[in-house]
Amino acid sequence: MTIRARTENYELNNLSSYAFRSSETKGRKNPCDPCDVRTDFQRDRDRITHSKAFRRLMHKTQVFIFPDSDHCRTRLTHTIEVSQISRAISRALKLNDDLTEAIALGHDLGHTPFGHIGEEVLNKLNPRGFEHNAQSVRICTRLENGGRGLNLTSEVLEGIFNHRSKFAPKTLEAKVVQISDKIAYVNHDIDDAVRAGLIKISDLPKNCIEVLGNSASERINTLINSIIVNSIDENHVKMDENVEEALKGLRAFMFENVYLDGEHLKNSFKVEHTLRGLYDYYIDNPKNMPSEYVLMLEAGEELPVIVCDYVAGMTDRYVSKIYSEMFMPTDKIWQRGF
């Protein structure tokens, strides 16, 4: 018996009856021989963490554009925090934490540079619209590995696509990621906003803090424990109603005071101007994109989609570098007397 088979046998005998077993996967679009050591979901996790898109997350904004502090979250650190929270919940509920981890690590691969501001800009520019969850799936199925994608299992792809609140995930493991994403960003964005001087801890709604706790660790612990107590041995993932309302209250506070009305938004018009400039340039000059994108165009894919693929994949600093090289005058120009 291989190590993978032993792990699959352990899952069959020890996980909750509501967990999704690795041996029950619907498989991959392109079938491949099973690994002797890793289950299919463990293999998906590794494919995601070794991808270029995953590495780029370290240089993509979470909320604050070019923050002064070295301790502000990036899209990568957010992803790691979601993975940690979701694995803790999944393991306590005896769900498949390998499936949970793979979904968590891949859920934000499709995020644009400059956070949600960048996503809003590309959504306006692309006639087909733009949503980061769908782009995450496109990266995994089309863009990585020179157009071959990562060839992930259907369960991981489904969880990645459905991680946003407006969707209903099909597995409890994906539901855990969906709720862990919210737990992570609300609490770490509070921490970053306090560090940036946008809000003070004393500004947080007192009724929410009384339920959840004063510190980020206390609040996360309360939320995780509430989910475990209310979901163990059940076919759902939920928390106490008063705890859920407190989380919603903190989220509403952050939208009102930080996400939609923060000092960091003073750069939003610069983000729009920059991304629009790059988008328009590549629409007019598509052959100046890297060769892999030109090949997709020649294969018949739509130009606005391919331009969005390229621009959305850029990191914050790469966008700034490319924009400066394209549109800012060089020293040699000034030396010629212009």
Lowest-pLDDT choice from 43-47, 110-114, 265-269, 290-294: 265-269
pLDDT in tens, 231-255: 999 999 999 999 999 999 999 999 9
The predicted structure's pLDDT at residue 335: 52
The predicted structure's pLDDT at residue 128: 95
User: Taken in order 194, 196, 199, 202, is the CA torsion positive or negative?
Assistant: positive
The predicted structure's pLDDT at residue 69: 66
Residue 94 tokens read as 């005896």
Percentage of residues of the chain with pLDDT beyond 90? 86
Phi, psi (deg, nearest 5) at residue 12: -60, -35
DSSP annotation string for 258-288: IITT-GGGGGHHHHHHHHHHHHHHHHH-GGG
pTM of the model: 0.95
Domain ranges in the chain?
3-264
Q: Which DSSP symbol is given to 58?
A: G
> What mean pLDDT is reported for the chain?
94
Say how far apart CA 82 and CA 158 lie, in whole Å: 17
The CATH number of the structural domain formed by 3-264 is 1.10.3210.10
78 closest CA partner among 118, 43, 111: 111
Q: What CA dihedral angle connects 57, 311, 161 and 120, to 10 degrees?
A: 100
Flag whether pLDDT at 187 surpasses 60.
Answer: yes
The predicted structure's pLDDT at residue 338: 45
The predicted structure's pLDDT at residue 260: 81
Q: Which DSSP symbol is given to 255?
A: I
Question: Which is higher by pLDDT, 22 or 267?
Answer: 22
pLDDT in tens, 314-338: 999 999 999 999 998 766 554 554 4
| Residues in a beta bridge with 153 | 28
Buried b (16+ CB within 10 A) or exposed e, 182-192: bbbbbbbbbeb
Give the pLDDT band (50/70/90) at residue 213: very high
| Residues in a beta bridge with 209 | none
pLDDT in tens, 20-78: 999 999 999 999 999 999 999 999 999 999 999 999 999 998 887 766 667 788 999 99
| Residues in a beta bridge with 61 | 74
pLDDT in tens, 70-107: 778 899 999 999 999 999 999 999 999 999 999 999 99
Look at residue 74 and give its three-state secondary structure: strand
Say how far apart CA 20 and CA 236 lie, in whole Å: 13
pLDDT in tens, 122-139: 999 999 999 999 999 999
